[in-house]
């Protein structure tokens, strides 16, 4: 198949998932055309049948805001016309689904039909997409897609609750590439941040307000006061980092390492003992799944799709939003002795196996085939 993939190029989960999907499809012999505002962050190697088309967003003094959606639709028309895509798969509804609809209409006038699939990722429904400034367009463009997927049952239900959706939504979970995320414990790496017998908590995100990174720090603070062997690695960057660092600079945060944005974090995750995800919105929690695949149990909030990934008492603990005390208890319960931690860790590795890329990518391929067959010109 000739597949067009539209995504954000940044470190957000939707861009990561879209890029990994494109790479996996190319390895199976499909031609993949990424269309994005810059090279997707995880597209860090050359692949014979992956092509990248950059959306050029023309600046003009009249524009207070440059019309990205128009530039994107024009680029898709160009790629579609010359590369003859079989299907266009857009990740994150805003504004990709409406740009895809516009593209479809333009191509129709040229006698070209393109089936469009929209994958809903999370904040495109739960935060940004349902803001009145976008909601009518988001609802319309979801309904105009030929196929719609959501990354969890929770997100599907949220979408049906918040919008008037006529289209069937298929749930296709996020997936994990075990060649990138697998337990690979390196004591020498651990020594860079602490001692062999220290307990490492870890958080990975884009440090946006929805990630509630101060809850991570408060949880660590309580635990560290009782047991100074408990350290914290903060991986990622974003708008809340300054606040968190300022808080730490005012007190005793010597045992927190802010590592910034990192690639290839499987090895870093593998030296950690508990992953903390206190998000107030999370449609799936890909970062938690990546940690689990590296054998790291998770203490998380019970929001959105997280309980579909983090299984209470098995792979970790899910706590009410903002319930720091429960998160502290969860970390203590997981790390109370070596045997308990090992059981949780093993459960994580086994459960993460059910989200293996090799199982999930064929589901997307079948969905493409189905939509191509069913969509009407």
Q: Which residues bind ligand GMT (CB under 6 A)?
A: 12-15, 17, 92, 121-123, 151, 174, 206, 210, 281-286
**Smallest distance from ligand GMT to CB 130, Å:** 13
What count of other Cβ atoms lies within 10 Å of the Cβ of residue 326?
17
Q: What is the smallest separation between the CB atom of 151 and ligand GMT, expressed in angstroms?
A: 4
Least distance (Å) between residue 368 CB and ligand GMT: 18
Nearer to ligand GMT, 248 or 277 (CB): 277
Contacts of 236 (CB under 8 A, 6+ apart): 11, 203, 204, 205, 206, 207, 260, 261, 262
What are the structure tokens assigned to 316, written together?
A: 């970790």
**Residue appearing with tokens 């463009």:** 141
CA pair distance 362, 365, nearest whole angstrom: 5
Round to whole Å and give the CA distance between 344 and 132: 43
Q: Are 67 and 36 in contact (CB under 8 A)?
A: no
Residue with Cβ nearer ligand GMT (30 or 121): 121
Q: Would you call 18 helix, strand, or coil by DSSP? A: helix
CB of 84 to ligand GMT, least distance (A): 28
Give one DSSP letter per residue of 192-254, joined into a string. Answer: TTS-TT-EEEEEEE---GGG-HHHHHHHHHHHHHH-TTEEEEEEE-STTHHHHHHHHHTTT-T
User: Toward ligand GMT, which CB reaches closer, 178 or 281?
Assistant: 281
Cα 186 versus chain centre, distance: 26
d(CA 68, CA 9): 14
Q: How far is the CB of 157 from ligand GMT (least distance, A)?
A: 14
Q: In the bound complex, what is the minimum distance in angstroms from residue 68's beta carbon to ligand GMT?
A: 16
d(CA 235, CA 252): 19
Q: Which is nearer to ligand GMT, 77 or 306 (CB)?
A: 306
The residues, ordered by sequence, that sit 6+ positions from 14 with a Cβ below 8 Å of its Cβ are 7, 8, 91, 92, 119, 121, 122, 124
Nearer to ligand GMT, 80 or 100 (CB): 100
**Which one, of 291, 235, 284, 231, lies nearest residue 266 by Cα?**
291
CB of 190 to ligand GMT, least distance (A): 26
The residue (of 41 and 106) whose beta carbon lies closer to ligand GMT is 41
Nearer to ligand GMT, 310 or 347 (CB): 310
Residue 255 or 282 with smaller CB distance to ligand GMT: 282
Task: State the minimum distance, in angstroms, from the CB of residue 15 to ligand GMT.
Answer: 6
């Amino acid at each position: 198949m000739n597949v067009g993939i539209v995504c954000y190029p940044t470190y957000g989960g939707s861009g990561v998932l879209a890029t990994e999907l494109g790479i996996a499809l190319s390895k199976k012999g499909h031609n993949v055309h990424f269309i994005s505002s810059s090279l997707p962050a995880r597209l860090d190697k050359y692949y014979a049948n992956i092509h990248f088309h950059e959306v050029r967003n023309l600046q003009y003094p009249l524009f207070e805001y440059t019309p990205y959606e128009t530039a994107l639709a024009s680029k898709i028309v160009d790629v579609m016309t010359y590369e003859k895509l079989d299907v266009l798969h857009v990740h994150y509804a805003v504004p990709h689904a409406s740009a895809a609809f516009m593209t479809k209409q333009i191509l129709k006038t040229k006698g070209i039909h393109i089936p469009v699939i929209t994958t809903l990722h999370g904040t495109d429904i739960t935060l940004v997409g349902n803001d009145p400034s976008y909601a009518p367009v988001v609802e319309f463009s979801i309904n105009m897609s030929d196929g719609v997927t959501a990354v969890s049952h929770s997100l599907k239900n949220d979408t049906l609750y918040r919008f008037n959706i006529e289209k069937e939504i298929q749930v296709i979970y996020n997936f994990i590439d075990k060649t990138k995320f697998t337990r690979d414990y390196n004591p020498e790496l651990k020594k860079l941040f602490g001692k062999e017998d220290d307990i490492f908590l870890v958080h990975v995100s884009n440090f946006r307000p929805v990630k509630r990174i101060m809850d991570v720090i408060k949880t660590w603070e309580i635990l560290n006061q009782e047991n100074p062997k408990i350290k914290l690695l903060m991986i990622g960057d974003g708008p809340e980092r300054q606040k968190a660092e300022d808080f730490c600079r005012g007190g005793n945060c010597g045992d927190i390492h802010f590592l910034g944005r990192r690639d290839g974090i499987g090895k870093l995750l593998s030296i950690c003992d508990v992953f903390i995800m206190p998000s107030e919105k999370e449609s799936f929690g890909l970062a938690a799944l990546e940690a689990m695949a590296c054998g790291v149990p998770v203490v998380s909030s019970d929001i959105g799709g997280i309980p579909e990934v983090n299984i209470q008492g098995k792979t970790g603990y899910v706590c009410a939003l903002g319930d720091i005390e429960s998160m502290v208890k969860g970390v203590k319960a997981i790390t109370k002795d070596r045997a308990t931690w090992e059981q949780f860790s093993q459960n994580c590795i086994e459960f993460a196996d059910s989200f293996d890329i090799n199982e999930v990518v064929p589901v997307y391929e079948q969905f493409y085939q189905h939509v191509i067959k069913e969509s009407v010109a």
